[in-house]
Amino acid sequence: MTAKEKPRPRGATDHRLKRMREANLRPQSAGSSQRTPQSIVDCGWGRLIFANTFLDTESITAALRRERPDRRDIAFYVQEPQVAVALAPQELFLDPSLTYRLDLTSYRPARRRKHAFFIRRLTTVSDAESVNVIYSELGMVQVPLDFFWEHRDARKLTVLVAEDTESGAIIGSVMGVDHTRAFNDPERGSSLWCLAVSPKSPYAGIGESLVRRLAEHFQAREAAYMDLSVLHDNAPAIGLYEKLGFRRVPVFAVKRKNPINEKLFVGQQPDADLNPYAKIVVNEARRRGIAVEIVDAEGGFFRLSHGGRSILCREALSELTTAVAMSICDDKRVTRRVVEKAGVKVPAQLTDDNANARAEFLAAHGSVVVKPARGEQGMGVAVGLTDAEEMEAAVEYARSLCPDIVIEQCFEGSDLRLVVIDYKVVAAAIRKPARIVGDGVRDVRKLIEVQSRRRSSATGGESTIPMDAETERCLANAGLGWDDVPDQGREILVRKTANLHTGGTIEDVTAETHPALIEAAVAAARAIQIPVTGIDLMVRSPREPDYVFIEANERPGLANHEPQPTAERYVDLMFPFSAANKKRQPDDETEE
């Protein structure tokens, strides 16, 4: 053995020989006399019921029946899942997840470490809060903060977090369970749960780094393997696990039928095709017992009925918004004139439509924005144009989408979206353009693909980074092409606009938004006379009063504003008497 070689864990050779003798890994045998009987581990989001420590299926079923409200219990290593379901077919179901196993006796750590972030144990209440924010972003069951804090040094549970080296923000988390400490497992197993990566993070490889570090943690404890459960249709996660050496094993889980698990056992539903902006409203309405009729899922149309009142909606747009208010928002030039009369500050705008006038306007202001007069989701919007040739190209493209265009002075700052419902600001968030961070290995195209997959997964396919001329222009401004490999740690803006549909992200700043910005948003909404709107301002900082008005959205996205109660306030507006009876339950958990 050389000085650099690490000795194998005790018992590794015996385990490898055993694995080689067995063509297929069999489920762990139940009722071993060495194991702690009827072992259950509380993980905060629910309990892990280790079925291989129970003597009979009836006891497993009884344990699942003790599941707490708003939690998600999992009976794992169930040898006869069909029997468990048959004993309580109205209460239990077979989890449609696959189990994968990593052999820790042959696993080798990665040589290359990430420098943009690092992995460590959860240590503070602030860490716990950040992890819950990520869980909320991904629709996962959140964990009580005191549980995280009380179990931060627990021997059974290990919670790791990924921390951004530069900002200190928590951008990912994973939980592990040590089976030896949980139930005296003679097989020396371990398991991985709740891998979660912030959809806002621009770094590639966060999930892989968390999995590897947890594997190394259990390897150091001389665990023989690490198991995990992943939904059968989660192709990106399965691809990651197989790349790291995980292999399928015939292990099954049983869960209890509850609202959290609903979509796993009810099959295809009429609202399955709703986008996240419609689904967040529908879920809130159903929690309150409000009847929901899906009119057109693909278009996001649904009808809500309660107490003799019926309202047709399209996402956050409802019959309460008049056609006049909607038409004001539809034309950015009209919107500007209406809000300016109400005292809202607007940027300088070009009124003459000819090349000479545009050149003079650019020369006077140095940087301009070109956008179609009508349109949404950032289509055709070009920001920060400083070159006349670029400006004319942007004008031509914007005009291909709408005959009328708008050219305005570019206000340097951040894009602030304020959601105004019933003339009150419910949420305020800085919208950040899509960006990537080089790792010295992947080219620009691959980095964008990785980021797009993460954004798409977190938003139900609503947010991706287009591989179009605007992205190419932004890359060119940074001196890069699609096939270039950015240096490790280099941050590149790949879009100038901050729309979620083009890969942008949201950072909640509701608590710190300056009163002047709140007043401007409410004034704009009142001027348009629109009960629900998204007001976009360009600001120096959300904590400062300087701003200019950009536009008003008659159908603002209510999703992605966690932890602000956007959907609650929207349903309050339509059905105020239902507010007292609303019942909050977490959405279905996302597994990776």
Residue 23: pLDDT band (50, 70, 90) is very low
pLDDT tens digits for range 459-480: 777 788 888 888 888 898 889 9
Q: What is the pLDDT of residue 3?
A: 44
pLDDT score, position 501: 78
Q: What one-character-per-residue DSSP string does 114-134 give? A: -SSEEEEE--SHHHHHHHHHH
314 pLDDT higher than 50:
yes
Residue 235: partners with Cβ closer than 8 Å, 6 or more residues away: none
Whole-number mean pLDDT of the chain?
87
> What CA–CA distance (Å, rounded) separates 238 from 98?
9
Q: For position 24, what pLDDT does the model report?
A: 40
pLDDT tens for each residue of 65-118 = 999 988 999 999 999 999 999 999 999 999 999 999 999 999 998 877 767 899
pLDDT one-digit tens code per residue, 530-564 = 999 999 999 999 999 999 999 999 999 998 888 89
Q: Which residues contact 99 (CB under 8 A, 6 or more apart)?
A: 227, 228, 229, 248, 249, 250, 251, 252, 253
Rounded Cα gap, residues 459 and 557, in angstroms: 11
Q: Are 560 and 455 in contact (CB under 8 A)?
A: no
Here the tokens at position 260 are 């959290």
Query: Which pLDDT tens digit goes with each residue over 44-65?
Result: 999 999 999 999 999 999 999 9
pLDDT of amino acid 22: 47
Q: Is this structure's pTM higher than 0.75?
A: no
Q: Is pLDDT above 90 for 295?
A: yes
**CA separation (Å) from 87 to 80, 83, 97, 380?**
11, 6, 21, 58
Q: What pLDDT is recorded for position 515?
A: 97
Share of the chain above pLDDT 70, in %: 90
pLDDT band with cut points at 50, 70 and 90 for residue 355: confident
Q: What is the pLDDT of residue 151?
A: 72
339: alpha, beta or left? (left if phi > 0; alpha if psi -120 to 50): alpha
pLDDT of res. 591: 36
Distance CA 441, CA 110 (A): 14
pLDDT at 584 over 50: no
Q: What is the mean pLDDT of residues 380-398?
A: 86
pLDDT at residue 313, as a whole number: 97
Mean pLDDT lowest for which of 21-30, 41-50, 70-79, 202-211?
21-30
Quote the percentage of the chain above a pLDDT of 90.
53
Helix (H) or strand (E) holding 568: helix 566-574
- Asked if residue 20 has pLDDT above 70, the reply is no
Q: Tell me which of 138 and 532 has the higher pLDDT.
A: 532
Q: Which residue has the higher pLDDT, 524 or 366?
A: 524
Mean pLDDT of 288-300: 91
DSSP three-state, residue 205: coil
